[in-house]
Amino acid sequence: MTKTQNTSASGSDTQKPRTPKRRWRTMVAWVLLILGIILTPITVIGVWTRNQLLDTDRYVATITPLASDPAIQKAIATSVSQNIFADNRVSDALQEKLPDSLDFLASPASTALQQATYKITLKAVEDKKFETVWIQANRVAHKSLENVLTGDGKITVNTKHGEIALDLTPLYEQVSKKLEKTSFGVTSKLPFSLLPTDFVFARSDGLVTAQGATKALNSAANILPWLVLALFAGSIAAAKDRRKGAFRVGLGLVVVSLLLAAALSLGRSGYVNAAATTPTGQAAQTSVYNITLRFLFMINRIVMLFGLVVAITAGVLGDSRAAIKIRGVIGAVTNRAGSAGSEHGVLGGPVSNFVAGNLVLLQSIVVVTAFAAFVFISTPSPMTVVWLALLTGVVEIVLLIVARAGSKSPLESAAIDQAIETAIDAK
């Protein structure tokens, strides 16, 4: 066997193990990516459940707008007036007050009094004092873990028997006092203490099951975000091309966020239909859904924007024609800016030399700092992602400009010009 053949055979032998290894890495990368995508919506819901329903301040922030929503206010006023005048209690009391010859006036008088009760109740609910009472009652309720999804208490929010209800006892007491002044003593005989004071938001046979699932999510909410991050990081690390791996992660986050948003939008119709037997009306049901879940929608948007930033960043760092041209243009701009700063004495010296010699390290620190800020901000918003991405991009460009003015800069003009020419030729 010749030397060439030996070399060929040796090369062939050394290449054989690489194929299964690469296949194994590709398989692991895809498995981790799929697991991360599957767990992402579960994590979003779990984090929302913990942050909004197991944190008193956030829970109160979630539930407070319900008290000032016009549809909810009208539904509460309707519920209270209907409960008070149910079973002809007021009509019977009026008949006792009226002479026998005027018995026929009992029914229309009762109707007029019911309308007055509705107006009194609505005015009481629209008062700022009611919102204060609402906030205080919900804060106390939350201390005993009384909330819509866990159903572990009974102070203000009640979820027994598959119902989501608000205890309106303080409101009934306020209305009863005002009615005593306008009903000629008729309503004083009504058993207000025996009236059903729960204002039912929704009835659903699946609520108890949902509460059980929520409790499981609450216990896992601290672990799931880090598990998802680990899965995505592992997927990127295992990928043959890590830039493409990062792009797939970003794209996966965008897609799953859009699917969750669509599911939540479809869930609005299901929620309203499931609560059709309540006296609140569809307008009130829609308000309850939108207000209660608004922070869940916001978290989902944050995840989607984060995925979009990751996908765009990975795309710009890729080897496509557009990516090469974008990097070439950025390199040319920073190269010229750094050279101009060095020529005018604005840049250069030890600082620029240090940045030039440690450019990759400094760029990595900026990215890690931005990511840590995103993770540890207590109440991030979609704009938080936008501003962090913009700020990170600006700092990265500044580092490139400063590095170009250093004698150890890795950004050589010839390399940048060549990159631009390559991008233009490829186009």
pLDDT, residue 277, reads: 59
pLDDT, residue 11, reads: 46
Q: Can you tell me the distance from the alpha carbon of 317 to that of 244, in angstroms, rounded to the nearest whole number?
A: 9
Per DSSP bridges, beta strands 198-203 and 163-167 are: antiparallel
Q: Which residues contact 36 (CB under 8 A, 6 or more apart)?
A: 228, 231, 232, 235, 249, 252
pLDDT, residue 221, reads: 80
CA–chain centroid gap for 315, Å, is 26
**Partners of residue 200 on adjacent β-strands:** 165
Mean pLDDT of 352-368: 81
pLDDT, residue 363, reads: 80
CB 60 within 8 A of CB 52: no
Domain assignment present for 240: no
Q: Can you tell me the distance from the alpha carbon of 132 to that of 156, in angstroms, rounded to the nearest whole number?
A: 14
Q: Which residues contact 262 (CB under 8 A, 6 or more apart)?
A: none
Mean pLDDT of 81-104: 65
Task: Identify whether residues 73 and 205 lie together within a single domain.
Answer: yes
Nearest to 72 by CA among 281, 269, 275, 272: 281
Query: How is residue 372 written in tokens?
Result: 């840590």
The DSSP element (H or E) to which 186 belongs, if any, is: none
CB 150 within 8 A of CB 53: yes
Domain assignment present for 267: no
Statement: residue 27 has pLDDT above 80? yes
Q: Can you tell me the distance from the alpha carbon of 225 to that of 39, in angstroms, rounded to the nearest whole number?
A: 9
3-state secondary structure of 406: coil
Domain assignment present for 58: no
Domain assignment present for 259: no
Could you say which of 209, 224, 255 is where a domain stops?
A: 209
Task: Identify whether residues 74 and 194 lie together within a single domain.
Answer: yes
Mean pLDDT of 94-109: 63
Statement: residue 15 has pLDDT above 50? no
Mean pLDDT of 214-233: 81
pLDDT, residue 211, reads: 59
Mean pLDDT of 107-134: 79
Statement: residue 416 has pLDDT above 60? no
pLDDT, residue 407, reads: 56
Range with the poorest average pLDDT among 97-111, 153-167, 313-327, 386-400 = 153-167
Statement: residue 13 has pLDDT above 50? no
Res. 410 pLDDT band, cuts 50 70 90: very low
Q: What is the mean pLDDT of the chain?
A: 73
pLDDT, residue 179, reads: 66
With 0-12 CB in 10 A as exposed, 13-18 as middle and 19+ as buried, what is 350? exposed
Could you say which of 191, 209, 227 is where a domain stops?
A: 209
pLDDT tens for 301-320 read: 888 888 888 888 888 777 77
**Global pTM value:** 0.63
pLDDT, residue 376, reads: 74
Domain assignment present for 316: no
Domain assignment present for 247: no
Domain assignment present for 402: yes
pLDDT tens for 264-309 read: 888 887 777 766 555 556 777 778 788 888 888 888 888 888 888 8
The residue ranking higher by pLDDT, 418 or 367, is 367
**Which domain covers residue 189, as residue numbers?**
69-209
Residue 384 CB coordination number (10 Å): 16
Statement: residue 98 has pLDDT above 70? no
Could you say which of 153, 187, 209 is where a domain stops?
A: 209
Number of domains in the chain: 2
pLDDT, residue 254, reads: 92
Statement: residue 119 has pLDDT above 60? yes
Domain assignment present for 265: no
Percent of the chain whose predicted confidence (pLDDT) is above 90: 7
Statement: residue 31 has pLDDT above 90? yes
pLDDT, residue 231, reads: 93
Statement: residue 162 has pLDDT above 60? no
pLDDT, residue 43, reads: 87
pLDDT, residue 422, reads: 56
pLDDT, residue 7, reads: 47
Statement: residue 36 has pLDDT above 90? yes
With 0-12 CB in 10 A as exposed, 13-18 as middle and 19+ as buried, what is 376? exposed
Q: Can you tell me the distance from the alpha carbon of 357 to that of 348, in angstroms, rounded to the nearest whole number?
A: 13
Mean pLDDT of 220-240: 87
pLDDT, residue 239, reads: 86
